[in-house]
Chains A and B, each alone.
Chain A
Amino acid sequence: DGGITQSPKYLFRKEGQNVTLSCEQNLNHDAMYWYRQDPGQGLRLIYYSQIVNDFQKGDIAEGYSVSREKKESFPLTVTSAQKNPTAFYLCATSARGDHEQFFGPGTRLTVL
């Protein structure tokens, strides 16, 4: 069953703790993306990666970090430096040369 998996669906953390969100895909897509969705603000790009071992900052990268050691995986770490981490986080992928993006189910992070 091809697709994008994000886990967990809901995540709670205490303020000051780092937390890592998982994104795995078996679509064999080269590019992967992380977005943050907040009410009334649409989706904003955090980081993206077009190939393994390479990634670029998006529009709101401060307080986040990523790695791309495998084609299938693009984990996002929300660090304690992120001022307002509570949000819905979406992972997306796209095939080489194709600009349509496919989205995972998302992880809702709540920092208490």
Chain B
Amino acid sequence: AQSVSQHNHHVILSEAASLELGCNYSYGGTVNLFWYVQYPGQHLQLLLKYFSGDPLVKGIKGFEAEFIKSKFSFNLRKPSVQWSDTAEYFCAVNAFFSSNTGKLIFGQGTTLQVKP
């Protein structure tokens, strides 16, 4: 069965530190890749997405992610985190099956805590 794995469950960083959250998926076919963020008390919202083209994707609030097909990975990065980045982050994969409906499969989530 297809799955998505996020390596870090809870990350604590100081402001200005660099961030990298790992995401790996298990599907060899065509995929769309997403990172969603859930700030405390807010809706789940899209940070960035990869459908095709340049594997380095830039999203909102200074986040970026790199799709490495050979490693089945889509890691999220930010050079310098802020206290306001404290949130839960979810990696998601939309795998295309023969029916082409594409279900969204989520990782377990990573809680990021940024200390001021």
Contact = CB atoms under 8 A, between A and B. Distances in A.
Given A45-B104, A50-B101, A105 B109 contact: no
B89 to A, nearest CB: 11
Interface stretch (B14-22, B44-52, B59-67, B75-83): B44-52
- Which secondary structure characterizes the binding site on chain A? strand
B102 interface: yes
Interface string A47-61: 010100000001000
A61 B68 CA distance: 33
Query: Chain A: interface residue count, which band?
Result: 20 to 34
Q: Give chain B's interface residue range (CB within 8 Å of chain A).
A: 20 to 34
B106 A99 contact: no
A41 B44 CA distance: 15
Contacts of B51: 99
Contacts of A42: 4, 6, 90, 106-109
A70 B43 CA distance: 24
Nearest to B105: A45
20 contacts: A33-B104, A40-B9, A40-B108, A40-B109, A41-B108, A42-B109, A43-B44, A43-B106, A45-B103, A45-B104, A48-B103, A58-B103, A99-B32, A99-B51, A99-B104, A102-B46, A103-B36, A103-B44, A105-B42, A106-B43
Given A41-B108, A100-B49, 6 more contacts: A42-B107, A42-B108, A50-B101, A99-B51, A100-B34, A101-B104
